[in-house]
Structure 1
Amino acid sequence: MPADDGERGAAALAQMRAMTADICDVIPLTAEDDFRITTATMMIGNALLVDSRVTDLEYDRTPAHIARGGLDHFHVTLCIEGEMWFSSGRRDVMVRAGDICLLDMGPPNRTVLRGGGGRTHLRAIILQRAMLAPRLAHPDAATAILLPAQHPHARLLANHFAALMLPPAPEAGSAEVTIEAIADIAAAAAGGTADIAAGVERAERHLYLAVIKRRIADNLETDALTVDELCRHFQISRATLYRLFETDGGLAHYVREQRLNLAFRQLISPAARETRLIDMAVNMRFSSDSTFIRAFRRKFGLTPGELRELADRWLRETGAVPAIDTVLHQLARRRKS
């Protein structure tokens, strides 16, 4: 559910209190008329992604709330703006911008949000206990676990918190698998089981590969895809970057394949009908139009010009732009014949 412009004032506060009466007490730290909250939620498999912006307030989850049941989850929370203080039993933690924290909402706890004159902006993945607890060596002690902003895993997870709010990128992997990998990283930070400790490298690989592939998909027509630029942006070594793309035939091969795929999509689109092949080749960072045409023919079995003619004929005959899968199916049938 996309965020709106937010609700404000005493009426919004009363509505929030009514909705959360069985979960916690909501105590504003501003005048009630100054209260404001904006939220967006998204279901991803069995997880819930919540993005919220709220004025200063306190959540108090008491033993009475616990007794009412209905909430037995862990939160993996990213602080984007402002700060959050969380306390549960003898554990407490201060979470500031860029930090990520694992919180257990099962026992009584208290949360204070302060935005420094603005609103605190949080993004949380809410995981069922049945999903995360088996990953933890000591699940009842896994709360107020902080990954500071400068930690590589915090930066990696923050990238995915943002990406999960967007449409999926080509070949970026399913959102459900990403949630599983995030759960593995969070569990490892809190003291995971032996199996989780052994699987952290696999989870890291999935998360790095997914977020790097998303950046590649967003920058195919730019110069931001050099090895040095990607290493700098994601703060990883060249060796790590190369290892990540070994199964894709190497980074250079993967980027070239994605640029050819983008060219394919553009060539069957009427919006790019007037684009010259030399200009497309330059946009896709090929050294010449002849190099572009040869690479395109090797991948798809026809030249860019032939594909454009095929798409134009399809449009004239059917009155509709052909779907990419339809064109690929037709090309595969033609190659077989």
Structure 2
Amino acid sequence: MQGADDNAADQSPLPHFILDTQGTPHKQALAIWHEQVGLLGQTRLKNPERFHARVEYYQLGALVLGTAKTQAQSFDRSRYQIGRDGVSHYVLQFYVDGGCRPRFGAQTASSASGDFMTFDCAQPQMTETPDYASIHLFVPRPLLAPLLSAPDEQNMRIFSGGGALVGMFRDHLMALWRRAPLLTVREGEALAKPTLELAATVINGSVREDAASGVQLALFDMICRHVIDHALNPELTPESIAAHFAISPRKLSYLFENAGGIASYIGEQRMHRARMALADSAQRHKSISDIAEAHGFVHPQSFTRAFQRLHGLTPREFRALARDQRSWDPQLITRQMWWKWMTGIPS
């Protein structure tokens, strides 16, 4: 019985939290915000009369992935506050809009939109922000510190958003955020470790052996997005993908080994587009052969066999189901591919 309960918990959605002051009476909204932020320090709003905030979080194992959008403010975290609450997390933050200016310490520059900043909650902080939107990751110190070359030198550090590793990490967090509503608790826990490894690689400025799989995960995700965006380009091939990402064909093959191979992934993405075309009422005038050819399948018979192998239905049967408005999950293939690859990464 216990095993069944544990399995059900593993398959449940990620824990999720939203705080949105929209529609909340002004004074109550201010009180809620000060109460929430006051758990970590003191905040002073620049224009409290127009205050609005929205924060949203998903829990991935021991990590918390969140977004925030709010007005200009300053934030102070003192040694007294640190001693009182004992919180020693790292906060890894990208500014989608706005930025942050440290108000003391060695760091005098300000971050800008697209930049990455690290905060160490075990150290004092004094910052100032304009109106901003961010995506951030809360990380327990014992999980990240062992992966860092200088774990005590990461408070209010700014990393240029133009760096290749920084861009890779930003894309990874954004991809996690987009997929978070679809992930289960088990999947979230599996994603935590490679996410930490990629974060450590960005902060350290180089890939350590104990963080390599996180970088591979981010590269895999970037390639998947590239394939999805260019699936209908007839010139999209394993060779062109390897050249685009400046990696060897052998490296590309290794990355997609647990996902059935890169050629298979390209074919499945084209099949996914073809499936959506078959379900599109605006394309009912097109023959199945025309749809197959438009999605890179020269021979209709080959398309039919591949479609049936992947979906368990012939294109004609699927089109009939779509016409009857029966449900079909458009995210299923991408999600299955993601999880199939993830479960093949050595721990």
Q: Aligned runs of 1:219-230 on 2, under 5 Å?
A: 220=231, 222-223=232-233, 226=236
Q: Is contact 1:41–1:49 with CA below 8 Å preserved after alignment? A: yes
CA distance in 2, matches of 1:169, 1:262: 22
In structure 2, the gaps of 5 or more residues are 1-16, 333-347
Equivalent position amino acid for 1:155 in 2: G
SS in 2 for 1:150: coil
> Do structure 1's residue 163 and structure 2's residue 175 form an aligned pair?
yes
Cα deviation, residue 145, structure 1: 3.3
> Do structure 1's residue 110 and structure 2's residue 126 form an aligned pair?
yes
> Do structure 1's residue 33 and structure 2's residue 26 form an aligned pair?
no
> Do structure 1's residue 210 and structure 2's residue 221 form an aligned pair?
yes
> Do structure 1's residue 186 and structure 2's residue 199 form an aligned pair?
yes
CA distance in 2, matches of 1:58, 1:168: 30
> Do structure 1's residue 137 and structure 2's residue 149 form an aligned pair?
yes
Match of 1:285 in 2: 296
Match of 2:140 in 1: 128
Cα deviation, residue 262, structure 1: 6.3
Q: Is contact 1:8–1:36 with CA below 8 Å preserved after alignment? A: no
Match of 1:24 in 2: 41
CA distance in 2, matches of 1:242, 1:48: 31
Match of 2:98 in 1: 82
> Do structure 1's residue 12 and structure 2's residue 29 form an aligned pair?
yes
In structure 1, the gaps of 5 or more residues are 326-337
Cα deviation, residue 243, structure 1: 4.6
Equivalent position amino acid for 2:246 in 1: S
Equivalent position amino acid for 2:304 in 1: I
What count of residue pairs does the alignment treat as equivalent?
307
Q: Is contact 1:52–1:121 with CA below 8 Å preserved after alignment? A: yes
Go from structure 1 to structure 2 and tell me whether the alpha carbon gap of 1:300 and 1:150 turns closer, same or farther (over 3 Å shift). same
Match of 1:48 in 2: 64
Match of 2:248 in 1: 239
Aligned equivalent of 1:58, options 59, 74, 79: 74
CA distance in 2, matches of 1:225, 1:143: 46
Q: Is contact 2:74–2:127 with CA below 8 Å preserved after alignment? A: yes
SS in 2 for 1:166: helix
Equivalent position amino acid for 1:19 in 2: Q
Equivalent position amino acid for 2:199 in 1: A
Cα deviation, residue 231, structure 1: 7.2
Cα deviation, residue 212, structure 1: 2.7
SS in 1 for 2:179: coil
> Do structure 1's residue 97 and structure 2's residue 108 form an aligned pair?
no
Q: Is contact 1:47–1:125 with CA below 8 Å preserved after alignment? A: yes
CA distance in 2, matches of 1:291, 1:170: 32
> Do structure 1's residue 255 and structure 2's residue 266 form an aligned pair?
yes
CA distance in 2, matches of 1:18, 1:169: 27
CA distance in 1, matches of 2:313, 2:33: 59
Larger Rg: 1
Identity of aligned residues (%): 20
Go from structure 1 to structure 2 and tell me whether the alpha carbon gap of 1:170 and 1:121 turns closer, same or farther (over 3 Å shift). closer
Cα deviation, residue 266, structure 1: 8.0
CA distance in 1, matches of 2:86, 2:168: 31
For residues 240-281 of structure 1, the C-alpha deviation after alignment (integer angstroms, 9 at most, x for no partner) is 7735545256533321134346657887x7979957422431
Cα deviation, residue 5, structure 1: 6.9
Equivalent position amino acid for 2:263 in 1: A
SS in 1 for 2:65: strand
- State the superposition RMSD in angstroms: 4.1
CA distance in 1, matches of 2:169, 2:329: 34
Equivalent position amino acid for 1:136 in 2: L
TM-score (norm 1): 0.73
